[in-house]
Chain A
Amino acid sequence: MTVSDVRGISAEAGTAADVVFTMDEDAFRAFYDRTARSVWSYLARLTGDRTAADDLLQETYYRFLRARATYESEAHRRNSLFRIATNLARDSHRRRRGRPATVSHDEELSASPDDPAGRVERRTDLTRALGAMKPRERALLWLAYAEGSSHREIAAALGVKLASVKLMLFRARRRLASILGVDRAPGK
């Protein structure tokens, strides 16, 4: 038996029966429809790059499907998904750090032709501020304030201790506020 014979047999086996995933197609599609926009937004903010977010979105759901895990609840499933997304974004950030600097796509994320001028300015400020922060800080802030995740959910998604989340979040929030130029003097 040659290698090409085995390849042929494997390909036939693949078409004869669906590959075993952690959920069936209907369940997956419903779950995807509930979560994809959130995951994409999270990835886009973490990577600062829409194209990278597109690629990582597919990879996130693939790894989620291949993970042989059992989930207790929808929240547990969602936390796992965000954890996979976090790890992929971190790996992507590491890989890109070793490459020569290219034009950042962060600005794309703040550009939306339907935005009123004030909103565009605010989004641009946030984009620049987030660009100056570490990926973990971006992830923390996004999960807490864009996703509305609890500290427990954030700890599960980022793989950090629950006790550390509060302090990490406080520091990240203070840093972002300071970059955004929030006046910290009391009474003003």
Chain B
Amino acid sequence: MLTAVYTGRWPGRASSELRAHVEGCAICRDLAAVAGTFEDESDVTRFTARVPDSSLVWWRAQMRAREDAAREAVRPITVAQAIGFAAVIGVAGAVFGATAAWFQRALSWMWESTTTFAGRISMPEFSVSLTEVSGSIASILASHGMLIGGVVLCLLLAPLAVYLTARD
């Protein structure tokens, strides 16, 4: 059936046996209709297709490949710059925290408020331990607050900077 379609013998020059078979066979009838339509369609579409010249496609591919290569080459440096920027921001934050007296006072006030609040929680069996834990955290922060603040800032900013850089 397919051979008859592709050689142009269907339907005009098909044998009587083939015609009789197609008359009684639903599958071959589908095949004849679909294959015949596609054969016709394929010829017309290919004839009317306006494809660019091969030299143009080659040239565009070359340009695109160079752009991609340049982008790939630059990416590690951009990521390193982003991490460096995040680190500088983090260190600057830590230095600011270490030198600004009002910031330290504000930080101490915040932790005192937190420990006071934790001590007032109305569950007696937990209140002692919560107070102890809060007290320990407050003492650590009081001695190394600036360093911890800087590290936290770095950890927050670095992934964000890397994401923004690598996004494109």
Contact = CB atoms under 8 A, between A and B. Distances in A.
A167 interface: no
Interface in A65-108: 65-66
Contact of A145 (B25, B35, B48): B35
A124 B27 CA distance: 23
A1 B77 CA distance: 10
Contacts of A65: 61, 65
Given A19-B65, A177-B33, A147 B70 contact: no
A36 interface: yes
A64 to B, nearest CB: 9
Contacts of B31: 173
Contacts of A126: 37-38, 41
A19 B57 contact: no
A151 to B, nearest CB: 13
Interface in B32-50: 33-35, 37-42, 44-46, 48-49
A145 B38 contact: yes
Contact of B74 (A7, A45, A54, A122): A7
Contact of A33 (B39, B54, B81): B54
B24 interface: yes
B41 A29 contact: no
| B interface, size bucket | 35 or more
A47 interface: no
Contacts of B23: 186-188
Contact of A36 (B35, B48, B54, B70): B54
A123 interface: yes
A6 B73 contact: yes
Contacts, number: 137
B34 A141 contact: yes
Interface in A157-188: 170, 173-174, 176-177, 180, 182-188
Contacts of A45: 45
Interface in B61-113: 61-62, 64-66, 69-70, 73-74, 77-78, 81
Contacts of B60: 58, 62
A112 B50 CA distance: 13
A11 B66 contact: yes
A185 B30 CA distance: 11
A176 B34 contact: yes
Contact of A3 (B6, B66, B74): B74
Contacts of B123: none
A130 B35 CA distance: 14
Contact of A119 (B25, B27, B40, B57): B40
A3 B70 contact: no
B19 interface: no
Interface in B133-166: none
Contacts of A112: 44, 48
Please indicate which of the listed interface residues A28, A40, A58, A145 has the most CB atoms of chain B within 10 Å of its own CB. A145
The 3 closest A-B pairs by CB, nearest first: A14-B66, A146-B42, A145-B38
Given A180-B34, A184-B30, A188-B23, 6 more contacts: A14-B66, A32-B58, A36-B51, A115-B44, A119-B44, A126-B37
9 contacts: A10-B74, A37-B46, A41-B46, A58-B60, A123-B40, A145-B42, A176-B34, A180-B34, A186-B26
